[in-house]
Amino acid sequence: MSSRTGNRDPGSRSPEPEWPSSGALTSAARHDRPERPVRHDSGEVQSRTRLLDLPVGLVEDLRCGGVRRSDSAEHYSPQFQVCLPYHGLFVWHVGRDTVVGDANQVLFVTGGEGYRISRPLPSGYAELIITPELCVLSEIANATGARLPSHALFRRRSWRASPPLQSFRARFLSWATGASDVDDLEAEELVLSLLRYALQSDGAHGGRGAATTARLIRRTKQFLEAELADPIRLRDVGRAVGASPAYLTHLFRRVEGTSLHQYLTQLRLARALVELPHADDLTTLAIDIGFSSHSHFTAAFRRAFGVTPSEFRQTSRGRLRPSPP
């Protein structure tokens, strides 16, 4: 997450992350050139690519790399934004809240509100940022512009992305970065569909709870993201975050509305959505993202998204127009 006009601080030195190819800029982006990755003195790698600039809103692909454990500079976005992280993890410090941004979350940014970002993992993060026109967002959210800051979504700041939304997000990203000739009307319809679906809650999890609860959940998510490629046992998670397995499993399900295992599987599958267009060996990919075998990966993928990994890879490589869930 990053403001359109906010500050940028140097971070800690870390290796450049392996990002998926961003592809070519679509014609619907009004021929704006994407920003190239820039290496700062700190070793940070950051790019912000304008994918689509349309009457209904702006869609950007933001990629940041390197560890930054504390960001003292305050950023802000003058506009309301809906953010769809799809790779890695970051922590969004806004108001009195500390919100984890990972591939299982949708984030809602209130215009004009200050925030800070920290990046606890070397892999950094990447996300789609939608900055809709205020009238468009107000209509879809069923709220006037004056009421948007008090809208339940923007007060809550985040909720969990469903597997259909994750699949749509991945297909949209592949299409937007790879299509060579896109009609503006088609692009606007897809952006509105993605925005509308992102504003629909899965209704599966409750409130944030006390600060100690939020901190424990945040540390748990960081551990799962950092270790998702390896076998993970419950006692390993509990030891890493300082909680008993029994307490942790109960608390995580109460706050997130799902089990630790299901949350981890959804993270692994979200990583697969990003990697599949570029993967030639599906068995190697399955092992690399933490599945025990190709068959285990295929069964979980089909159960979540309704297609096999090879079918998804074929359609994403073909740059086909994504269909809303």
Average pLDDT over the chain, rounded to an integer: 84
Tell me what pLDDT residue 71 has: 60
Q: Where are the beta strands (DSSP E) in the chain?
A: 38-39, 45-54, 57-64, 75-76, 81-94, 97-102, 105-109, 114-118, 125-132, 158-160
Q: How far is Cα 173 from Cα 192, in angstroms, rounded to an integer?
A: 14
Sign of torsion over alpha carbons 62, 188, 162, 100: positive
- Whose tokens are 């009004």? That residue is 30
Region 164-172: what's the mean pLDDT?
95
pLDDT, position 82: 97
Q: What is the mean pLDDT of residues 129-139?
A: 94
Q: Is the dihedral of CA 282, 314, 202, 220 positive or negative?
A: positive
* Structure confidence at residue 185 (pLDDT): 87
Q: How far apart are CA 304 and CA 296, in angstroms?
A: 12
- Domain ranges in the chain? 27-198
Can you give the pLDDT at residue 224? Answer: 96
- Both structure tokens of 277: 């267009």
25: pLDDT confidence band, cut at 50, 70 and 90? very low
CATH (one of 3.20.20.70, 3.40.50.300, 2.60.120.10, 2.40.30.40) for 27-198: 2.60.120.10
Question: Residue 110: how many CB atoms within 10 A of its CB?
Answer: 21
Indicate the range of 96-105, 146-155, 158-167, 285-294 predicted with least confidence. Answer: 146-155
Q: At residue 110, what is the residue type?
A: T
Please state the rounded mean pLDDT for residues 215-219. 94
pLDDT digit string, tens, across residues 273-301:
999 999 999 999 999 999 999 999 999 99
- Comparison of pLDDT for 183 and 71, the residue scoring more: 183
Q: Please give the pLDDT value at position 168.
A: 95
**Separation of alpha carbons 83 and 131, rounded Å:** 9
- Choose among 171, 179, 10, 151: nearest CA to 84: 171
Residue-wise pLDDT for 72-129, tens only, equals 567 878 999 999 999 999 999 999 899 999 999 999 999 999 999 999 999 899 999 9
The burial class, CB within 10 Å (0-12 / 13-18 / 19+), for 171 is buried
- Residue 157: partners with Cβ closer than 8 Å, 6 or more residues away: 92, 94, 97, 99, 107, 108
Q: With beta carbons less than 8 A apart as the criterion, state whether 88 and 228 touch.
A: no
Q: How far out from the chain centre does Cα 85 lie?
A: 1
